[in-house]
Amino acid sequence: MYEEKSDREIITEVLNGNDDLFYFLVRRYEKQILNYIYRLVKQKEEAEDLAQETFTKAFFALHQYNHSYEFSTWLFRIALNVCRDYFRRRKILFFSLNTPVGEEEETEWGELIEQNSFLDPDGELDNRELRRELEKAIDNLPLKFKEVIVLRHLEGLSYSDISEITNLPVGTVKTYLHRARKKLQKELKEYLD
């Protein structure tokens, strides 16, 4: 019954005191959020804890949710902030995502990735070694690049959604994607020739 209701309908009922319905939102998004967080932290138990923290924060901040945005975008933003806090607590080098950089055009490498299904989470790579090398290369990206690559190519989000989640201008998102792709292209050069 509640599975068919929209996010907004469920949120309205939760805000009207039916807290138990938040469970349906968790069920709807838990896999996506867990996968996203895991791709950033690369530790299953940590990812599970951070996903739980994400949903807890979302529940307690639900009254702040702006219905003009998709709930999933708002939830990804909370997950990203939870991950950033995690990295700060662990004293992992964190690059400011608010540093303005010049806008750059999209590269053809993004199309190359899509053509070869390198970053398609549903596709199966024929070359397991390439998959391992790609995952290692993504993992070695600076956090600011890793975040946008994961959101764009592994979660399939639009530039505007990524902009909303990361609180960056769309131009900066494109710049980070361009630079991340360049780094990945350099790292995986022998596999792309």
Three-state SS for 120? coil
Count of helix runs (H) and strand runs (E) in the chain? 10, 0
User: Do 72 and 145 share a domain, yes or no?
Assistant: no
For residue 44, count other CB atoms closer than 10 A to its CB.
10
User: pLDDT tens-digit profile of 75-98?
Assistant: 999 999 999 888 877 754 333 333
Residue 78: its H or E element: helix 71-89
Whether 63 maps to a domain, the answer reads yes
Q: How does residue 68 score in pLDDT terms, banded at 50, 70 and 90?
A: confident
Q: Is the pLDDT of residue 112 over 50?
A: no
Q: How far apart are CA 147 and CA 141, in angstroms?
A: 9
Q: Residues 50, 82: contact at Cβ < 8 Å?
A: yes
Q: What is the pLDDT of residue 69?
A: 86
Whether 99 maps to a domain, the answer reads no
Report the candidate in 193, 183, 192 with the shortest Cα–Cα distance to residue 148.
183
Q: Residues 145, 164: contact at Cβ < 8 Å?
A: no
Q: How far apart are CA 54 and CA 69, in angstroms?
A: 18
Q: What is the total count of domains within the chain?
A: 2
Q: Is the pLDDT of residue 136 over 80?
A: yes
Average pLDDT, the chain: 80
Q: What is the pLDDT of residue 91?
A: 56
Mean pLDDT of 37-51: 92
Tell me the Cα Rg of the chain: 18
Whether 100 maps to a domain, the answer reads no
Q: What is the pLDDT of residue 127?
A: 52
User: Do 84 and 136 share a domain, yes or no?
Assistant: no
User: Do 15 and 81 share a domain, yes or no?
Assistant: yes
Whether 41 maps to a domain, the answer reads yes
Boundaries of domain holding 177: 108-192
Q: What is the pLDDT of residue 106?
A: 40
User: Do 143 and 79 share a domain, yes or no?
Assistant: no
